[in-house]
Structure 1
Amino acid sequence: MSGAVTSESATILFAEPGGRWRAVAYGPALCLLILILELATGSTPHWFALLFCGALIAAFVALQVVAARRHISVELTTDALRNGTETLSLDAIDAVLGESDEQNWDDEPWDSARALGELSGIPRRRTGIGLRRTDGDVVQTWARDHRGLRAALTAALDKRTPRPSDGHAGGGARNHGGPREAADPPPQQRPGENGADR
């Protein structure tokens, strides 16, 4: 889910909750359906078993939702990017690195970089996005809708105040994979003592 939502401190540009509370109701709903079928067909209803299973499934799923909302949620605001419990200020991000080419057998250099958050890697069903920090380190942010996060993050970086050192509006729009700027032209050769070039 993404969209602009105004909070007290900043505007949320992109958000993925990681888990939704409606999933807790799936188990009890299934047990209720089985109970209705038993009553409709004249079978002996298994009240205790269905109530116990419904409560057990709901409790187990609730724990999963709590963990998901804590560890695999994503939130991008005008001030910071949060993956799980780790928050990275946008001022600490220099650039969003190029997207991986699915047709290329070689991995991008940032594919082995550390993933943001407290997990050991990128969560399942999420895709990484390479980031270059202002201190030179390369890390990976991640999201299920990785293209949506990439677009929102690039736009947020482009709107930053230009840094006095580089004069760019933000890291997202800069091409860090292109050729280097031309160096100063070499000094002109001086003619030799006999008037001809050496």
Structure 2
Amino acid sequence: MTARPGSDATGGAGPLFHEPGARWGAVALGPAFCMVALVVELVTGPVVHWLALPILAVVLAGFSYVTVVAARRHVSVELTPTTLRQGTEELPVAEIEAVLPPPDDGREPQRWETARSLGELSDVPRRRTAVGLRLKGGVFVRAWAKDADELRARLEELVGDSGQTATS
């Protein structure tokens, strides 16, 4: 099971790294825009769309809700002392042998840069950066996060310094 912030599985301390995937505030943007449109209509014109604006607000909130739920399920990242969760896939930290250094510009792509991406998505999600991992058994995978440097730092703390000298 996935440890949630503040749960006993992490010793009550919460996750070491967490990105929710999307924020719930995005659901309020559509209705807020409709409220601004209503105020503008009340102030500036004889026509006020009393029926259309609330319906549009509900529709926009509904679409935003579905998008936020999907992003929180499939694009969230959580690192606890025992587990790295990427979307719905969980990887025990004990399986990680090394955290690989970031790629150098101008060089040939490293082996981990074309490896399987963790999570159920086919590739690293948009606006996320990959972090190379070598698992026990020599398998390469790509973890990912918006703040990849912070995720890499937290993983290196857990795994140790062996990843600093690892080559692909």
Relative to the length of structure 2, the TM-score reads 0.90
Secondary structure of residue in 2 paired with 1:9:
helix
Supply the AA of the counterpart residue of 2:8.
E
1:113 corresponds in structure 2 to: 115
2:157 corresponds in structure 1 to: 155
Runs in 1 of length 4+ with deviation above 6 angstroms? none
Alignment of 1:70 with 2:73, yes or no, is yes
Q: Is the 8 A contact 1:93 1:171 kept in 2?
A: no
Supply the AA of the counterpart residue of 1:7.
S
Report Cα offsets for 1:41-77 as digits up to 9, x if no partner.
Answer: 2431101111111100000010000000000000000
Supply the AA of the counterpart residue of 1:70.
R
Question: C-alpha root-mean-square deviation of aligned residues, in Å?
Answer: 1.6
Q: Is the 8 A contact 1:18 1:73 kept in 2?
A: yes
In 1, the alpha carbon distance for the partners of 2:90 and 2:38 equals 46
Supply the AA of the counterpart residue of 1:9.
A
1:132 corresponds in structure 2 to: 134
Identity %, equivalent residues: 47
Secondary structure of residue in 1 paired with 2:29:
helix
1:135, distance to aligned residue in structure 2 (A):
1.8
1:52 corresponds in structure 2 to: 55
Q: How many residues align?
A: 161
2:7 corresponds in structure 1 to: 7
Q: Higher Cα Rg: structure 1 or 2?
A: 1
Q: Is the 8 A contact 1:13 1:76 kept in 2?
A: yes
In 2, the alpha carbon distance for the partners of 1:112 and 1:6 equals 35
Bigger helix share: 2
Report Cα offsets for 1:122-156 as digits up to 9, x if no partner.
Answer: 10001111100012111000001000100111112
Long gaps (5+) in structure 1? 159-169, 179-198
Long gaps (5+) in structure 2? none
**Greater length-normalized contact order (CA 8 Å, ≥ 6 residues apart):** 2
Relative to the length of structure 1, the TM-score reads 0.77
* 1:16 maps to which of 13, 16, 19: 19
In 1, the alpha carbon distance for the partners of 2:32 and 2:42 equals 15
In 2, the alpha carbon distance for the partners of 1:12 and 1:121 equals 24
